[in-house]
Amino acid sequence: MKSNSRSTGELLPISDIAAPEVQRLRRGPTPIQNRLMEAAARAAQEQDDQSILFQHSVFCQTCLPYRDPGDKVRVWERINGRSHLKVLAGEAMNPQEGRFVEMGLPFGPKARMILMHINQRALIAQSPTIEVDDSLTQFVVRVLKLDPKGRNIRAVKDQLTRLAAASIRIGVVREGQAITVNSNIVSAFDLWFPKDERQRVLWPSTVSLSLDYYQSLILQAVPVDETHIAALSHSSLALDIYSWLAQRLHRIPVQRPQMISWLALHAQFGQGYNIDNIRKFRQVFRVALKEVLTVYPAARVGDDEAKPARQQIVNGKAVWRESAAKGLTLFHSAPPVRKLIG
């Protein structure tokens, strides 16, 4: 058993964070592992404006659903500290039916990445009204690795539709003041497919962000590396952990590392995992964290391991029990993107 990282003053090696079943794999790198290693190799390259994406700080501290919550779920709400996110599924006009139809909640990696791209275009243009047709096609090819003429592009447009139709409420307490944003992210967006599935999907030429969201984004945008995001595009959890560390690590005082308990991590990232089975959540989280630290090697994160399992007698039977692990220790670290647009 390795010594506790806090007691030795050393950080836990990235390879030790993975679950045991992952560490036993010796069949060569998977496509995901290759993508992570390639992203890590390019981490030292200078970033330009086009390779910097942005996420709103509230989406770095809270998150959208990992998976489709189903059509019956119309409200999604997450609270983390002084940040509060509430997403309400909306409706959109269907030109074929001539009426409004209900859209589901945005979810998964594609919704997160599309939102980052839209944020980027608005900040580069310094305007809530942005041109997206060509840039979105390039983004789909370059980052999502999808054929813009392929049928799987439907998943991208479905998430765009959900994002455009949804209403969001963002609440942040900062320096004693409460900031509230209550609006749609996108105020106007033609997102319907052509009737003929063989036709190429055409994005609208422009997108208009709501003014409230745009003004809030200017104040609270967190830069992230497009290469890193592309490498983590298979996992909503990994994207959320990366965004969280990008927003938080550089703000931690150098001499005052912060301890985050597994209970707090479960409350923030553990959607779909019962608190009674937090051990399973720890395993899944550690795998995603290892992937994040592969592309973001400057992040300094310590992992307090559980003590060795002990045998106890319960109702006359021998039972092996593992002591609860404390959590993660976050140390001051350089952000993944040091350069801002401009």
Return all residues near 206 (Cβ < 8 A) that are at least 6 apart: 129, 130, 131, 132
Q: What is the pLDDT of residues 233-263, one digit of tens each?
A: 999 999 999 999 999 999 999 999 999 999 9
Q: Which element (helix H / strand E) includes 238? A: helix 236-248
Cα–Cα distances in angstroms (integers) from residue 150 to residues 88, 130, 147, 157, 333, in the given order: 30, 25, 5, 12, 41
User: Tens digit of pLDDT for each residue in 281-319?
Assistant: 999 999 999 999 999 999 999 987 655 556 677 777 776
Mean pLDDT of the chain: 80
What's the pLDDT at 129?
87
Q: At 168, is the secondary structure helix, strand, or coil?
A: strand
- Predicted pLDDT at 19: 45
User: Which 3-state string (H, E, C) describes 258-320?
Assistant: EEEEHHHHHHHHCCCCCHHHHHHHHHHHHHHHHHHHHHCCCCCEEEECCCCCEEEEECCEEEE
- Give the residue among 62, 57, 36 at the shortest CA–CA distance from 297: 36
pLDDT of residue 100: 86
Residue-wise pLDDT tens digits, 125-172: 999 988 776 777 788 888 777 776 666 677 888 888 888 889 999 888
In total, the chain counts a number of residues equal to 342
pTM of the model: 0.80
Give the whole-angstrom CA distance, residue 168 versus residue 75.
10
